[in-house]
Every structure is written in C-alpha cells, then in structure tokens.
Structure 1
Amino acid sequence: MERTLIIFKPDCIKRKLEGKVLDIFLSKGFNLKACKMMKLDMDILSRHYDHLKDMPFFPGIVDFMTSDNVMVLVFEAENAISKARELLGPTDSKKADKGTIRGDFGTDMRMNVCHASDSVESAEREIANFFLPEEIF
C-alpha cells in the first residue's frame, strides 16, 4: 500500500467539483486517510513548490494557488501514486484524454483541478508539509 497527496486546487473548489472528484477517487479504490480545507500562503507554497520557486512562472502559481481555498487529501491504495496520476491524466488539461479528471474538468496547465505527488519521496515530503502524523488515519 502506498500513500499520495492530492490537492483539489482553487479551480476545483470554485467550480464546486470537489464532490465529483472525491467520488472518482473513492470509486477507483482509494482510501481516504486525511482531508482538510485550507487557505494556502507563501510559506507553505514555498516548501511545496521548492523545486519551482526560482522559476519565472512561480509568482503566477502562488497567485493561482492563493486565489481560493483548497482541499488537501491523503489517499492510500495499492500503487496509489501511479494510479492517481493515471486517473488525473497529463498536467496540461488540453492534452488529457476524456475520461480522466483533467480531461473532463481541467482547462489548461495551471487550472488542472488537482495536484498529485509524483513519487514516493515527494508524497512523503508533501504529506509531512500539510499534515501532522496524528492527522492521518
């Protein structure tokens, strides 16, 4: 069993898609281990996107990710990381097939409904960035 961090981004929340997206994950065998609604700030985003903070597009990411609340979730499943990324489709929603979350609900590279961990190491780091150990069930 593996854990992954998923963030329902501001576009997901603004468009009231969180119930639909959560249902997709649950119906595909993911077990919800933690969930919280948050308003992100520069501190947590700098840690989360540490690998991007020197890129010229980072301020745009911050503007978008602080534009509304987000839902941060920890899911557990067999091969959760690859399974979640397959369910979401490519980062660029314009390139995502219909039947994937981003293909059905995303609009572009940034407004792509969800963030998902890309490796076991990233998942561990990202989960620790958003949740205390006692918040995960």
Structure 2
Amino acid sequence: QELIRGYVLKNFTGERNGQRARALLLVFRGPDAIDRVHKVVGHIVHERTSGETIRDTYGDYITDESGKVTYFEPAVISAFGSESVEQGLKLWSEFSDRDGGILDGAITYAEGAKVEKTLVLIKPDNFKFPNIRPGGVIEVFSRTGLSIVGFKVHRMSVAQAEEFYGPVLPVLEEKLGAGKGRNAWEDVVEFMSGGRPSAVSGDQRTNPGTEKCIALVYQGEDAVRKIREVLGPTDPSKAPPGSIRREFGQTIMVNAAHASDSAENAQREMGIIQVDENNLKALIESTYGRQ
C-alpha cells in the first residue's frame, strides 16, 4: 500500500512538463464485480511474467541489491474490498464536476498548432459479448499519438440516434430512393439505439437505448484526419490492412467505429451525445445514496 500511495502522489498530482496528470476511471457493475476485477487485475509478482493478469502483463517493479524498490509501475489502481471501493467511488464522485467531463486544459501545445477535437464512437457490435475488441480498437487509435480528453459509456436514445444520423437520411434517399433509403436509415438508427423510429413513440424515443457504445474525444494536431486515416473507409472490404474497419468491421453498417468527418461535425455530435455530462455522480448516488 505504501508503494501505491507513493505512486499516486508522484504521478497523479501536480503538473509534469506543464501538463496535468490524466487518469481514466472505469466503474464495473455486476455479480461479484469486486472479486472478478481483483482476479483480472492481479498482483505484481517479481519472479513471474506469465501474463495471466493485467499487472502480470503491464506492471513491473525493480529492486536494488538490498531489496529496496527503485522502480514501481502497478499498471492500474483498483480497490479490492467493498468498503474501500465505496470510499474511493464517493471520493471520485465528490470531485467529478470539477475534474470530469472533457479535459480542455489538460494538454499544452506549441503556439500556432492546429489543435482539433474529434469524436469517436465504438459501436454496439463490439459489446455483444465480453471480449477485448473495444480495447483493441482504442489501441489502434492510440497509434495516432492523439490524447483522449473525454470518455463516456453511452446508450443512445432513438431521438439522439435520429439527430446524430440525420444528415445521412437525404444521402441514402438520393442513392436508394425514398422508401429504401428511409428503411436503410432506420436500420442504422436501430443498430445504434436498439429502437426503430417508425416503431417507437413517446418516452421510448428519449429513454436510453438498449445498445451500448463508448464515446471518446480525441484531441491534438490535425485530429480529424489522423483518426479517420486509422479508422479506414466505411466499407471494411475496401479498408486497408491494419485499419480498424478492416480488422474489426463486418459490413458497411457493422463497421466497428464512427469518427467525425470534420471539426464542426465533431462539435455537433459531441453535443448530441453530451460527452461532457457528469453521469458518474448519479451512478454513485443511485448505488450508495446521496452524501
């Protein structure tokens, strides 16, 4: 615990090279969640490098001849008891309004740099069963060298999906005709939200959908172009080897991820998804009650 404490104080506080430290908080929920996460995270064992757990694979520490630890990297920080989990989540919730959302001031850039934000959606086809696909997609995007400044697990409502993909409707109608184009557009909305516009009404349109996606905001120089190059074209069969859609996509619709095609559209899409919304506090309060 002393090593963890020292690591947090050194790496999670203050600034380094003029930049604030960033961390990604993941909250897992489900049967025996604490124990199951504990088993996956594991411990750092100096003599073993089997790669069976996260820390076994990515964690490390080095000792000198006297046994003193001179280098320590735990890979992830996680609490392993119900009381410590509750305490930690309540603490993060307390500061979530200030430290969550989109981290606009976390990264510094050279004067005159063409800095953009762009939105990526990791689509519902990556969440049909427990797998490493979402992490694989994020890993490929990391090749761009851009920074993640926003992250949200989201269930898109039918109304949000209609607005998000609204510009696609006239394109499909022009290409396929009014009837077939509308039907193809509704397929997209249903794929992203779980509800078909022509089959839902009232509160069903605005309630969170049944399909899950991850929204990420990437920031950096020429971000829109860099992300779309790594993503590949809409049709996975036409995407180059190594691109996300070639490696993870299946069809023109089921193609792993979406990325904004311009900085202006990124702003529009982020507004629809509300990436900067603080949904952590509501989650913690619904679990443990208001503080």
Is this a same-fold pair by TM over 0.5?
yes
Letter in 2 for 1:84: I
Percentage identity across aligned positions?
A: 34
Higher relative contact order (CA 8 A, sep 6+): 1
- Corresponding residue of 2:4: none
- Corresponding residue of 1:19: 135
Shift in CA distance, 9/133, structure 1 to aligned 2, threshold 3 Å? closer
Letter in 2 for 1:29: G
Does structure 1 residue 29 correspond to structure 2 residue 145? yes
Within a 5 Å distance, the mapping from 1:75-114 to structure 2 comes to 75-114=218-257
Query: Unaligned regions of 5+ residues in structure 1, if any?
Result: none
Whole-angstrom distance in 1 between the partners of 2:237 and 2:243: 11
Within a 5 Å distance, the mapping from 1:1-137 to structure 2 comes to 1-14=115-128, 16=131, 17-53=133-169, 55-56=181-182, 57-67=184-194, 68-131=211-274, 133=276
Shift in CA distance, 6/132, structure 1 to aligned 2, threshold 3 Å? closer
Render the CA deviation track for 1:16-74: whole Å, top value 9, x for unaligned: 31111112222431211111111111111111112134542111001211242100111
Q: TM-score, normalization: structure 1?
A: 0.89
Give the RMSD, CA atoms, in angstroms. Answer: 1.8
Query: Whose strand proportion is higher, 1 or 2?
Result: 1
Letter in 1 for 2:265: S
Bigger CA radius of gyration: 2
Shift in CA distance, 18/133, structure 1 to aligned 2, threshold 3 Å? closer
Whole-angstrom distance in 2 between the partners of 1:61 and 1:41: 13
Does the Cα contact within 8 Å between 1:46 and 1:53 map onto a contact in 2? Answer: no
- Corresponding residue of 2:175: none
Shift in CA distance, 69/133, structure 1 to aligned 2, threshold 3 Å? closer
Shift in CA distance, 24/132, structure 1 to aligned 2, threshold 3 Å? closer
Query: Unaligned regions of 5+ residues in structure 2, if any?
Result: 1-114, 171-180, 195-210, 279-291
